[in-house]
C-alpha cells in the first residue's frame, strides 16, 4: 500500500516512483492512494472515494466520460494545467 507518496516536494523521486510502479508490478496488486490526478489516470482500476464512501469505480477512460466526482476532479486538473 502506497499512501500519497507523490506529496513529496521533489519531483524527481515522484517521477521515479511512478516509473518503477508502472514497470515492476506485473502480477502484483498495488494499492496506490493519491490526490494526483495524472498519477491516478495511469492506474488499471480507480476507486473514487468521497467522505469515506466509494462513489465510483472504473478505468480512467470510463470515469472521465461519465458524470461524477472523478470527471469533475479531472476537469479541474486539466484547467490548472492550462492556466500554469
Secondary-structure percent of the chain, ordered helix, strand, coil, rounded to 5: 50, 20, 35
CA distance 83 to 75: 12
- How far apart CA 20 and CA 54 sit, in angstroms, is 27
Q: If DSSP codes are grouped into helix, strand and coil, which group holds residue 46? A: strand
Q: Output the pLDDT for position 35.
A: 85
pTM beyond 0.85, yes or no: no
pLDDT in tens, 1-31: 555 555 555 555 656 666 666 666 567 777 8
Amino acid at each position: 500500500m502506497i499512501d500519497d507518496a507523490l506529496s513529496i516536494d521533489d519531483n524527481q523521486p515522484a517521477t521515479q516512483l511512478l516509473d518503477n510502479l508502472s514497470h515492476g508490478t506485473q502480477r502484483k496488486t498495488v494499492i496506490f492512494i493519491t490526490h494526483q490526478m495524472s498519477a491516478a489516470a495511469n492506474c488499471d482500476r480507480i476507486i473514487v472515494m468521497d467522505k469515506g464512501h466509494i462513489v465510483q469505480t472504473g478505468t480512467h477512460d470510463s470515469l472521465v466520460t461519465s458524470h461524477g466526482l472523478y470527471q469533475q476532479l479531472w476537469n479541474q486538473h486539466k484547467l490548472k494545467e492550462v492556466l500554469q
